[in-house]
Structure 1
């Protein structure tokens, strides 16, 4: 979409990446969906056009991330090849990335609310209007996964937005952290695009099976028994049952409760699947094969 602006503003230019410093005579806009930047001369944009563009795209606020604050240093280190923050090298850190979706996202108020749940010296940086990351040192970690989900529910209630989190692993402070952060961001981006819309919390373990299935070469995906795909296609309810059963560690009681069905109904569906495919779900190898098939099937339906 940004490319269409080139014809409207004759001296505008597409940018390969976000500038490290603010151009003196340009506004820089970012299209998050296409991951593109454009620089438009300030003299070519009227006040009304500027207001319209700010509602459609993110106007990069260079002042928000400059300076010698701890968050600013982390921002430059993770995103723009800056030097590592001056923290003890034996410290370990994890990144809790978040994405907020809603019609009215008030960054300062949401950031204040986030800081209220974490320790006071936790750093928060923003990559865009709705994407950011909480940087936690090992000694700062205080919230469990369940507490993070509760926090998400509270923020959604208070700000009328939907917020999802990706909880990364602990890593020592090193020159490798920016690449690790970007890889975790890739997993998170994949998750919010391809996994359940109602999920509030993602982890590597939760995402990787679906990520693997989506990136398998065609010659391997063709090795999944076609009977499974045919069964899932003809009976979507059975597919959902099998997937929820596997995701809940083969626990019949939990699965029946989540699906709002009787245990006898669940057992009937499990028996039907085994009878039609010849694959049992009570051992690791059968469960693993079927779970991978579920991920591949889900990917083909998108």
Structure 2
């Protein structure tokens, strides 16, 4: 999507993450949760007619049940123990045959895949039940380059958090926040093949409050605050952190592994550790 060309052709239009519903405005979905909001009085009769045709076509496209759930417009389609969502943006324009072959490969790559859908021809959402847990960070890092070569496509994959069933009521808020993070990253025209939640969270100036609240509650419930502080104070060195907590190194390692399975956050990695330390400190300062 060429935003400069959009601005050139429609100088009074705005690009936003939600449709503008006030009188005299019309919105056109551009996929990836982007909307082009247009002032009707700035359009010619021909442009208005074309817009009506495009809107009719969009209204006839069925929405995926999971898409409705994430948008807060429907119930959860399937029972899931621990939710994790993978978003993939295709930067190339592969044929339908290539996309279908790639999707079939993704279904074999993600054995606990519950469902997937495309809200645009180049934007795909994969829903996984992470019970039992599978480390998709390692799998995706090892296979994205291979997929790009084998299928002749260019992609960016964003692997979201693991959200446990205890916070299911917050799942739509959490996933919408993840989608907003990915959309914001794409608007910056940066380049990467694989992204994690922690990486994009620190690039987001707004720091979504719903996500911080959910993670804060999880830290408290599993009594991880002291562990997070000990690891941060000791540079993520397990032996030193364990000594400061007066526990055996293996005991600490076990707790970190269980936390990783629960959340997808690896406290031995500084980016994930920094995210949780930021949340812990925000509680104190807030």
TM-score by length of 1: 0.48
> Which one has a bigger Cα radius of gyration?
1
